[in-house]
Amino acid sequence: MTLQLSDVSKSFGATTVLEAVGFEVERGTRLAIVGASGSGKSTLLRIIAGFEEPTTGSVGLEGRRLADSTTNVGAHRRGIGYVAQDGALFPHLTVRGNIAFGLRRSPSREKRVHEVMELTSLDPELLERYPHQLSGGQQQRVALARALAPAPTVILLDEPFSALDTGLRAHTREAMVAALERSGVTTILVTHDQEEALSFGHQLAVISGGRLVQAGPPSEVFDAPLSAEVAEFLGAALFLPARTTGSGQAVCAFGELDVRHDLSNGGQAVRAMLRPSQLHVGGPTGEGDARVTAARQNGSTVELDLSLHDGFALTHRVPLYDGHRFPAGCAVSVRVDGGVVLYAAAATSDRAGTR
Amino acid sequence: MLFAAAALIPLGYVMLAAFDMGWAQFAELVFRPRVGELLTNTVLLVLLGVPFTVILGVGGAWLVERTDLPARRVFAVLLVVPLTIPAFVASYGWASAIPSIHGLGGGLLVATLAYYPLVYLPALATLRGLDPALEESARSLGMNGWRVFIRVVLPQLRLAMLGGGLVVALHLLAEYGAFAFLRFETFTTAIVVAYQATFAGPNAAALGVVLAGLCFVVLVIEAAARGRLRYARVGSGTPHPASRVALGRATPFVVAALVVLVGAAAAVPLTNVARWLFATDAADWQPLLGATWQTVLLSVAGALAAIVVALPIAWISARYPGRTARALEGTYYVASSLPAIIVALALVTFTLRVIPVMYQTVATVVAAYVLIFLPRALVSVRAGIAQIPENLEEVARSLGVSPLVAKGRVTMPLLVPSLAAGAALVALGAANELTATLLLAPTGTRTVATGFWAAASAIEYAAAAPYALTLVLLSVPAVVLMFAQVKARRSG
Determine, for residues B397 and A84 on separate chains, whether the beta-carbon distance falls below 8 Å: no
Give the pLDDT band (50/70/90) at residue B159. Answer: confident
- The minimum CA-CA distance between B381 and chain A, rounded to whole Å, is 18
Taking the C-alpha atoms of residue B188 and residue B184, their distance in angstroms, rounded to an integer, is: 11
Give the pLDDT band (50/70/90) at residue B492. Answer: very low
Longest dimension (CA), chain B: 72
Determine, for residues A90 and B394 on separate chains, whether the beta-carbon distance falls below 8 Å: no
**Do residue B339 and residue B227 come from a single domain?**
no
Cα dihedral A46, A49, A53, A57 sign: positive
Question: What pLDDT sits at residue B479?
Answer: 85
**Do residue B206 and residue B269 come from a single domain?**
yes
Write out residues in chain A with pLDDT < 70, as ranges: 1, 286, 322-323, 346-355
Among A43, A47, A92, A99, pick the best mutation site for testing chain B contact (most B Cβ within 10 A).
A92
Radius of gyration of chain A (CA): 24
Within 391-410 of B, beta carbons closer than 8 Å to A belong to 391-392, 394-403, 406, 409-410
Measured between beta carbons, the chain A residues lying within 8 angstroms of B406 are 76
Each residue's pLDDT tens digit, B352-396: 888 888 888 999 999 999 988 888 888 788 888 888 888 899 999
**For the ranges A55-64, B218-227, B311-320, the one whose mean pLDDT is highest:** A55-64
Q: Which residues span the domain enclosing B293?
A: 281-474
- The minimum CA-CA distance between B395 and chain A, rounded to whole Å, is 6
- In sequence order, which residues have a C-beta less than 8 Å from that of residue A139 and are 6 or more positions away? A86, A87, A89, A131
Residues B419-432: what's their mean pLDDT?
Answer: 86
Nearest to B392 among A81, A90, A102 (CB): A90
Measured between beta carbons, the chain A residues lying within 8 angstroms of B394 are 49, 51, 75, 82, 84, 88
Measured between beta carbons, the chain B residues lying within 8 angstroms of A185 are none
Nearest to A76 among B389, B392, B401 (CB): B401
**Do residue B422 and residue B310 come from a single domain?**
yes
**For the ranges A325-329, B149-153, B449-453, the one whose mean pLDDT is highest:** B449-453
In a domain, B393, yes or no: yes
**Do residue B225 and residue B313 come from a single domain?**
no
**Do residue B36 and residue B88 come from a single domain?**
yes
Q: Which residue has the higher pLDDT, B303 or A346?
A: B303
Determine, for residues B392 and A88 on separate chains, whether the beta-carbon distance falls below 8 Å: yes
Nearest to B395 among A88, A149, A152 (CB): A88
Judge whether A92 is closer than 8 Å to chain B, CB to CB: yes
Taking the C-alpha atoms of residue B302 and residue B275, their distance in angstroms, rounded to an integer, is: 33
Burial B352-391 (b: 16+ CB within 10 A, else e): eeeeeeebbebebbbbbbbbbbbbbbbbbbbebbeebbeb
In a domain, B77, yes or no: yes
Measured between beta carbons, the chain A residues lying within 8 angstroms of B319 are none
In a domain, B25, yes or no: no
Within 28-87 of A, beta carbons closer than 8 Å to B belong to 49-51, 74-82, 84, 86
Taking the C-alpha atoms of residue B167 and residue B149, their distance in angstroms, rounded to an integer, is: 24
Query: Tell me, what CATH number does B453's domain have?
Result: 1.10.3720.10
Nearest to B397 among A76, A86, A156 (CB): A76
Q: Which residue has the higher pLDDT, B488 or B85?
A: B85
Question: What pLDDT sits at residue B1?
Answer: 61
Region A237-353: CATH code: 2.40.50.140
DSSP helix, strand, coil percent of chain B (3-state; round to 5): 80, 0, 20
Number of domains in chain B: 2
Q: What's the gap between Cα B176 and its chain centre?
A: 14
CB pairs under 8 A between A and B: 64
Judge whether B414 is closer than 8 Å to chain A, CB to CB: yes
SS3 assignment for B126-182? HHHHCCHHHHHHHHHCCCCHHHHHHHHHHHHCHHHHHHHHHHHHHHHHHCCHHHHHC
The structural domains of chain A, with segments of one domain joined by +, span: 3-223, 237-353
Measured between beta carbons, the chain B residues lying within 8 angstroms of A50 are 397-398
The DSSP annotation for B248-300 comes to GGGHHHHHHHHHHHHIIIIIHHHHHHHHHHHT--HHHHHHHHHHHHHHHHHHH
**Do residue B97 and residue B133 come from a single domain?**
yes
Among A48, A51, A52, A109, pick the best mutation site for testing chain B contact (most B Cβ within 10 A).
A51
In a domain, B23, yes or no: no
Q: With H, G, I as helix, E, B as strand and everything else as coil, classify residue B67.
A: strand
Contact B79, B139 (CB under 8 A): no
Determine, for residues B398 and A147 on separate chains, whether the beta-carbon distance falls below 8 Å: yes
- The minimum CA-CA distance between B413 and chain A, rounded to whole Å, is 7
Residue A134: Cβ within 10 Å count? 18
Determine, for residues A102 and B401 on separate chains, whether the beta-carbon distance falls below 8 Å: yes
**Do residue B322 and residue B250 come from a single domain?**
no
Question: What pLDDT sits at residue A350?
Answer: 39
Measured between beta carbons, the chain B residues lying within 8 angstroms of A48 are none
**Do residue B273 and residue B292 come from a single domain?**
no
- The minimum CA-CA distance between B393 and chain A, rounded to whole Å, is 9
Measured between beta carbons, the chain A residues lying within 8 angstroms of B402 are 74, 76
In a domain, B8, yes or no: no
End-to-end CA distance of chain A: 39
In a domain, B17, yes or no: no
Determine, for residues A92 and B398 on separate chains, whether the beta-carbon distance falls below 8 Å: no
Question: What pLDDT sits at residue B125?
Answer: 84
- Predicted confidence (pLDDT) at residue B235 exceeds the cutoff of 70: no
Q: Which residue has the higher pLDDT, B464 or B13?
A: B464
Nearest to A101 among B399, B402, B413 (CB): B399
Taking CA–CA distances from A100, the nearest residue in chain B reads B399
**Do residue B222 and residue B237 come from a single domain?**
yes
Nearest to A91 among B397, B401, B414 (CB): B414
SS3 assignment for B320-382? CCCHHHHHHHHHHHHHHHCCHHHHHHHHHHHHHHCCHHHCCCHHHHHHHHHHHHHHHHHHHHH
Judge whether A90 is closer than 8 Å to chain B, CB to CB: yes
- In sequence order, which residues have a C-beta less than 8 Å from that of residue B48 and are 6 or more positions away? B108
Q: For A3-223, which CATH class?
A: alpha beta
Among B323, B387, B395, B405, pick the best mutation site for testing chain A contact (most A Cβ within 10 A).
B395
Question: What pLDDT sits at residue B127?
Answer: 87
Measured between beta carbons, the chain B residues lying within 8 angstroms of A75 are 394, 397-398
**Do residue B289 and residue B260 come from a single domain?**
no
Residues B239-260: what's their mean pLDDT?
Answer: 86
Determine, for residues B394 and A79 on separate chains, whether the beta-carbon distance falls below 8 Å: no
Among B323, B388, B399, pick the best mutation site for testing chain A contact (most A Cβ within 10 A).
B399
Measured between beta carbons, the chain B residues lying within 8 angstroms of A156 are 398
| Distances from the Cα of A315 to the Cα of A257, A342, B374, B433, angstroms | 20, 21, 65, 76
- Predicted confidence (pLDDT) at residue B236 exceeds the cutoff of 70: no
**Do residue B274 and residue B288 come from a single domain?**
no
**Do residue B212 and residue B338 come from a single domain?**
no
In a domain, B78, yes or no: yes
Measured between beta carbons, the chain B residues lying within 8 angstroms of A88 are 389, 391-392, 394-395
pLDDT cut 70: percent of chain B above it: 94
Taking the C-alpha atoms of residue B287 and residue B267, their distance in angstroms, rounded to an integer, is: 27
Determine, for residues A84 and B409 on separate chains, whether the beta-carbon distance falls below 8 Å: no
- Predicted confidence (pLDDT) at residue B238 exceeds the cutoff of 70: no
Determine, for residues A76 and B410 on separate chains, whether the beta-carbon distance falls below 8 Å: no
